[in-house]
Amino acid sequence: MDEFSDLITSYKFALEDFKEDATQKSNHWQKYYNNAEKFCNIRNLKNFRQDLSKGLDDSNDSIELKKLVASFNDLGKKFVYKNLSKKNVGNSQNIIEFDDIIVDSHDLVQLYWYKDLIDHVFSKKKIKTICEIGGGFGSFARIILNNQNCKYISIDLPEANIMTGYYLKEHFPDLKFFLYCDYKAKGKVAEEDFKNFDIFILPPWVIFDDSIKIDLFINARSMMEMDKPVIKSYFNLIHSHVSIDGYFLNINRYIKYSKKTGVPIRLSEYPYDASWKVVISKTSNQHRIHFLLTKRTDTDNDNNIKNELHRIGVYTEENFDDALLEKETFFKKWFIGFISSFFLKFFGSKNLRWIGNKFVTISENNSSNEDLKK
């Protein structure tokens, strides 16, 4: 318990202070983050991927061996093996153990993101500081920290932060963590703190010294859950602290409706200023998600980013009918929920897990296993 007491202390401090900034929690997260006692329970924390991580964890997606084979072909077998975890931190029940690695659909998606960062960021510039906004439970941070010698800031809601802290502490026990309890003692994050700490796990309202500059900001599938004022506040943070020649990786839905206001949140309307140059702009490896990597400059870029956002907006209008999109999403969630409830009621959780495993594409065992060994 003592090993993780600082995480629980920081979580309780953040919950108390969160009352003054409740706008940060959208309806999406209010649905999942509504029971503080669950997150303070160390047993729940050790098994957080069985319950607590709902809403930010792709591990419930089916894991097909052909997806692993595809990643070997796309990224290289050595790269995939190096960057998949060997530890099932959080005890996810939706993984495949292959050789000495954990095959997790959540990680497989992020390996493609990291490969693009290698090719277009890490190979071009020494990245000393990274700030990830809405990083879930820290899985992308793990991949990056496994390879890059840098300082890592994770900004998220208190519930996500306690999972991130646990997950990264289990993977990097030798690194030094700056948590919200440390922040409370100081009242800010100062430049000197980067000399003494490696990983910073903090809520959205913290204050950074103006002198702190970040070489790479990341937001992956998080801003699409926020309302426009919250998105604007994060862009203010990015614009204030990104270094010249720094980067911003933005991976989000083309369009998603706010559950609180009903207003469409369009990536094409994100409040970029003119001092960004587009490095990569493409459809992501997930449905309806765009991958946008931009580089900070000290001059106006002749509407480079504005023109690209316009192009993304036209693509959104041409490919997504708003009403149909909402109906399809609603029906899919309802259908999955109905089927899950039906099987859970009549078969129980243990048998449901067995049935689920049978549906995972291990039926391709013979052909896929041969491919994996090549």
Please answer whether residues 93 and 353 qualify as being in contact, where contact means their C-beta atoms are separated by less than 8 angstroms: yes
Cα-only R_g, the chain: 21
Q: Evaluate if residue 326 carries a pLDDT over 60.
A: no
Given this model, what pLDDT does residue 11 score? 92
* Token representation of residue 263: 């207003």
pLDDT recorded at residue 105? 85
Averaged over 69-86, what is the pLDDT? Answer: 93
How many CB atoms are closer than 10 A to CB 3?
11
Question: How would CATH label the architecture of 2-98+100-320?
Answer: 3-Layer(aba) Sandwich (3.40)
CA–CA distance, 261 with 300 (Å, rounded to integer)? 34
Q: Is the pLDDT of residue 55 over 50?
A: yes
214-220 and 242-253 strand pairing: parallel
Tell me the pLDDT tens digit for each residue of 203-257. 999 999 999 999 999 999 999 989 999 999 999 999 999 999 999 999 999 999 8
Cα torsion angle, 39, 49, 250, 212, sign: positive
* Upper half-sphere CA count for residue 254 (Cβ side, 13 Å): 23
Amino acid identity of residue 191, one-letter, is E
pLDDT at position 260, please?
75
Q: What does the pLDDT read at residue 318?
A: 87
Burial 10-28 (b: 16+ CB within 10 A, else e): bbbbbbebbeeeeebbbeb
In which band, very low, low, confident or very high, does the pLDDT at 369 lie, cut at 50, 70 and 90? very low
Over residues 8-18, mean pLDDT: 91
Q: pLDDT at residue 57 above 50? A: yes
Report pLDDT for 26. 60
Judged against a pLDDT cut of 60, whether residue 102 lies above it is answered with: yes
User: What pLDDT does 316 receive?
Assistant: 92
- Output helix, strand, coil percentages for the chain, rounded to the nearest 5: 55, 15, 30
The answer on pLDDT for 99 being more than 90 is no
Q: Could you tell me which of 63, 56, 61, 112 has the C-alpha nearest to residue 83?
A: 112
Identify the residue with better confidence: 104 or 33: 104
Assign residue 66 a region (left: φ > 0; alpha: ψ between -120 and 50; beta: otherwise).
Answer: alpha
Q: What is the DSSP string of 37-87?
A: HHHH-HHHHHTGGGTTTTTT-GGGS---HHHHHHHHHHH-HHHHHHHS-SS
Average pLDDT, the chain: 84
CA dist 57 and 310 (Å) reads 31
- Region 275-280: mean pLDDT is 97
- Which three-class secondary structure state does DSSP give residue 277? strand
pLDDT at 78: 94
The half-sphere exposure of 337 on its side-chain side, counting CA atoms within 13 A, is: 6
Measure the CA–CA gap between 374 and 364, rounded to whole angstroms.
16
| pLDDT value, residue 157 | 92
Nearest to 31, CA basis, from 61, 56, 58, 60: 56
* pLDDT number for residue 94: 84
